[in-house]
A and B are shown apart, each in its own frame.
Chain A
């Protein structure tokens, strides 16, 4: 089946640094989503991307939908302690079943004050 390769698996950075993570796939997706999950809670939608090449920002977060439609990246600028958590990418191919949102395995972000 379809799989997403999300990297890095974990990051340990200093407060104030910028962060970059990405997802790649061998399959084409029509939609890319980025979520953040805090311990003991459900994932929270950060950014949704619907068009190849699209660049979208949400505060200090910026995400892009790759031109090939097989990848996406998420950048966090000037990280702060509350950015700690697990970030997931997810892709949807409308040609599949209606519920076919495929998730990456997550990037665990740790921020040192």
Chain B
């Protein structure tokens, strides 16, 4: 258990609506990540954060924004959800200080955009 929770765990929404997913960690880790997982694509990085208010884009960042106002929370926002954003979203943290590789994952959020 890496002390990561994600909310909500499941969400169904309509095209064009804004959606915010929350990742919360209890271990004060510096690095946090958002991935999406789709059949045939595996896990792909959306955005990551290397500290409060410090974020950067990943491989599939278009249509997503993130914010990190506190160490423990990393928010992923879909400003206007589209059907192509139906996916399972995972948050991850890097557990070792100064390391970006030993990433531990949360339980995931299943998002369906109708």
List the interface of chain A (C-beta within 8 A of B).
1, 31, 33, 35, 40-45, 48, 88, 90, 92, 97-101, 103-106
CB distance from B66 to the nearest CB of A (A): 11
Tell me the bound Cα distance from A33 to B42 in angstroms.
Answer: 14
Contact flag A101-B100 (CB < 8 Å), given A42-B90, A88-B43, A106-B42 = yes
The total of chain B residues at the interface (CB under 8 A) is 24
Chain B, Cβ-Cβ closest to A2: B59
Overall SS of chain B's interface: strand
For A92, the chain B residues whose CB sits under 8 A away are 100-101
Q: Which of A1, A45, A100 contacts B104 (CB 8 A)?
A: A45
What is the bound-complex CA distance between A40 and B105, given in angstroms?
A: 12
14 sample A-B contacts, Cβ–Cβ < 8 Å, listed by A number: A1-B59, A42-B107, A44-B105, A45-B104, A48-B101, A48-B102, A88-B42, A88-B43, A90-B103, A97-B58, A98-B48, A99-B56, A100-B45, A101-B45
- Contact between A101 and B56 (Cβ–Cβ < 8 Å)? no
Rounded to whole Å, the gap between the CB of A27 and the closest CB of chain B is: 14
User: Which single residue of chain B is at the shortest CB-CB distance from A29?
Assistant: B101
